[in-house]
Each structure stands twice: as C-alpha cells, then as structure tokens.
A and B are shown apart, each in its own frame.
Chain A
Amino acid sequence: MSGDIDGATLDVLLRVAGLAPPEECHAGIMANLALLARHGAHLREIDDPMEDPAELIAP
C-alpha cells in the first residue's frame, strides 16, 4: 500500500473503515499514512512469512 494517496482515495479508505473525521484532519492522516507506508516497506525487508514458526497457543 502506498502512503502517497490523494484525497479521494482517503475518503474511500475512511468510509470502508467506518471513520468520518472532519476534513481538517485529512492532511495529518495522509502525512501519517505516508510515514507508516515507509516504515512498513522497511520492515518487510527482513520479513519472510514462509520461514515464520508463528505464535503457538498451548492447549
């Protein structure tokens, strides 16, 4: 997911998530989405789902 989204895309994302913050929040949300996308891409550099033992729940 790219963090660099436009206002129309943000509107769709918010609607799907059931959120309706006022317009004045949108710039801050988009800036944080971009930051999260950058950190997300970075952490995936060492992520390997095929090698993960997962967290086991002891019965």
Chain B
Amino acid sequence: MIDTLNIFTTLLPGGPAPDGPLAGTSFAAKDLFDVAGHVTLAGSKINADDGRIAAQDATLVARLKAAGCRLVGMTNMDEYAYGFATENSHYGTTRNPHDPTRIAGGSSGGSAAAVAAGLVDVALGSDTNGSIRVPASLCGVYGLKPTFGRLSRAGVYPFVHSLDHAGLFARTPAMLAAAYDAVQGPDPRDPAQDQRPAEPIVLSSDMAPLRVGMLRGFFATGAAPEAHAALAHVVDGLAALGCAIAPALLPGASQARSAAFCMTAMEGGSLHRADLMTRPMDFDPAVRDRMLAGLLMPADLLLAARRVRRIVAASARALFADFDLLLSPATPCSAPRIGEPTIEIEGRPVPVRANLGMFCQPISFIGLPAISVPALANTPLPIGVQMIAPAWAEARLIHTAHHLHRAGITGTTGTAP
C-alpha cells in the first residue's frame, strides 16, 4: 500500500484472514488506540521517545479483531488529539482523498481519510470536541460519536477524560452498524464506561416518521453556503421519508461551546503538566501553547464550565420532549486548503481551524450521540450534516442514516474502489 496521503503512522504486515461476522473486512485505528507490541504515539514525539510498548490491544481493537476484521495499521492525528486539521508538526499533514491540496480534518483525520480512500472498511477514532464528526464531514464518510460512556475507552490514550468518546467511521451505515455491534457492550477494563448491555442495531426496511428539529440560533450562523446547502438537502430528504420538520433551539449552545473550549485546554493541560514543565519544546507548538494557557486559568473557570454543562444538558433533555432527532451542519465549511488560515464566511475572514468544530463542540460537551452523514448535495467537495439523538439512541441515528443512504440523499463519492 502506498501512502501518498500520509494517512498511516504504522502499516502492519498482512496475515491470514480471520474468521467472524466481519470476516473479509479490514480496519485502521487512530494512533491513540493501543495495539499490542507497538508504541501508542498519539501523534506525539514524546510518546515515541518514551517508547512504552502496549502490552495488549485496546478493547475496541481487540473486539474488531475478534469479529474477523483485519487491522491494517494505525493512523495519523493531531498531537494528543488537540486539533481539527491533522496538521502534525512531527508526522506531517494528512491529505484529503478528495483533493490532496486540502486537509482531511481532525483530529482523527487519518482514520477518516483511510475510509474515504477505500483503504479500509472501518476505522476507529476518538471525539472530544468533534474529532470524528469533523473529519467525517470533510472526507465525505459516515462518522459516529456514540453517547458519552457507551463504548469502552480501555487502552485509548486520553485527552480530556470528561469529554473523550471512542467511535467509528465507515462508508455505509450498514458497515457502521456491523462494526458498532462488534465493539459495543460492557467492558470490565473501563471503570468509566456505562455498564448497560449491548443494544444490537436492526436495520429494517421501514422507517418510523420522526419529529426532526432543525437547529437554529447558534447553529444557523457562521457557516458557508455549502454547509447550508447540505443541511437543506438532508432536511428535504427526511421530509420525503415522512419526517416532520420544525425549527428547534438549544438554549446555551454557544456558551456550551465556550465551556468545552475552556475545559479542553484546562484538563488537557493538566494531563500533560509534567511534560509541559520539563520538556515543552518536544510538543507540537500549537498544542503546547494552548495547554500551557489552560494550565494558567483559574480553577473557578473549570467549575463554571461544569455547571454550564449541567444547564445545557438539561436544556437538551427538555428539547427532546418535542423532537426525536436534531440536525445541524457538521462543519461550517468543506475542507480548507492545507495551510489556509482563514475562510470567508458571511463576508468576513474567519480563522478556520478553531472553528471547524464549532457545531460539534456543544453536542459532545453534553455527551449526546451524534453522527456526521455525507450529504449528496452537489457541492464541489464533500460536507456532512450532524444528526443528534437523545442519550443512548445510537440505533435511531444509524437507522436514519441507513434510510438516507438507501434513498441516495447521503453517501460516499469519488475515491473508494
């Protein structure tokens, strides 16, 4: 395999095809999932220097292997998962399979690109502020971030303990469902995981009419025309499938994004405090300066952020009394060019990297399950729409995505074989 897009940090030798329900398929793992016998780089030079070799596979890696899915390699990412671009100063930039002059998004950019390029059927990623949904949107694949606590994080290198989620990429909802079923369920290795039993996905030919809320307010501003076009396309598609569409407001969404921003810098900085004290120049500069700033913020700000999380989570629970599903753009634009610092939105230059996750951050902050679906809206480049469900309703997300895919409203294009 020739990795011209800089997708992989490690490519593994091929072996015998394993048996199981996923036999004949392959997967890649973001390089923060432990793979036995390898150093988990997490996009860092520090981990490479330290050279700690994983003694066992991360639970999700082990479960995909046990289901017959063959691990092809580990994928590039932003250092310590802190970024939306996969522009890594140590391991280079992962290029977008749809246009190699553009970024793949991040921080799970290598995983999204591997699926989009057709190099694997499934990829594992992590999502703290949007790191699955953003690259899924920019690479034009399906990206699922389940409910906080749904999937095991055992053997996953942490970034922000109170916000980290593990999740998946695939080119079809059916493949996503099969892989999700293979990895879900309680794991005694992860004390933070919810211990609810696995809830297998059933993809039926019928779809119940859903009450769909199109998020306005914070989610309706600051996006480029292609994001609005993608959202309108999926809204029209859901209406054609019998869903009732109405505008919806999530009070406090903008403040939730700010709270996620602060909590990330503060907790992320705290996690890496020892290395920031003793070897700051071994970090990616962008990551280092954000974490150092986070370490200097007052503890009161973290307490306030946690309170805001409870307020906005309560708002969302109330909103789901009226809606089964909420929609927003997944990203404010399609993939920017590599090195491009700003994009023009509503007539103003906007810093692109800090804002790529703006519509994802409020949702992961309150732990709701969400999926980015690739809209087939005749945009020049792929772009996703974020569908959000109540806690533990991943099945509704995947089932709805399945029907959108079957109807040709969403889907992958272009690069996969």
Judge if A40 is at the interface, Cβ distance under 8 Å. yes
Q: Which of the 9-residue segments B21-29, B149-157, B286-294 touches chain A? A: B286-294
Bound complex: CA A35 to CA B276 (Å)? 20
Bound complex: CA A46 to CA B256 (Å)? 10
Is B262 a contact partner of A39 (Cβ separation < 8 A)? yes
Is A55 a contact partner of B306 (Cβ separation < 8 A)? yes
Judge if B350 is at the interface, Cβ distance under 8 Å. no
Is B261 a contact partner of A39 (Cβ separation < 8 A)? yes
Judge if A45 is at the interface, Cβ distance under 8 Å. yes
Q: Interface digits, B289-303 against A, CB 8 Å rule (1 contact, 0 not)?
A: 110111111100101
Bound complex: CA A35 to CA B296 (Å)? 13
Residue of B nearest to A39 (CB): B258
Contact partner of B255 (CB less than 8 A), chosen from A20, A43, A53, is A43
Chain A interface category by residue count: 20 to 34
With A21-B288, A46-B252 as known contacts, state yes or no: A40 contacts B296, CB within 8 Å. no
Interface residues of A in 1-59 (CB under 8 A from B): 1, 13-14, 17-22, 25, 28-29, 31-33, 35-36, 38-40, 42-49, 52-53, 55
With A32-B293, A36-B297, A52-B310 as known contacts, state yes or no: A42 contacts B280, CB within 8 Å. no
Task: Known A-B contacts: A42-B255, A46-B308. Give 14 more (CB < 8 A).
Answer: A25-B280, A25-B292, A32-B292, A32-B293, A33-B293, A35-B354, A36-B293, A36-B301, A38-B258, A39-B257, A42-B254, A43-B256, A43-B258, A43-B305
Q: Please, which residues of chain B bring their CB within 8 A of the CB of A39?
A: 257-259, 261-262
Bound complex: CA A43 to CA B261 (Å)? 10
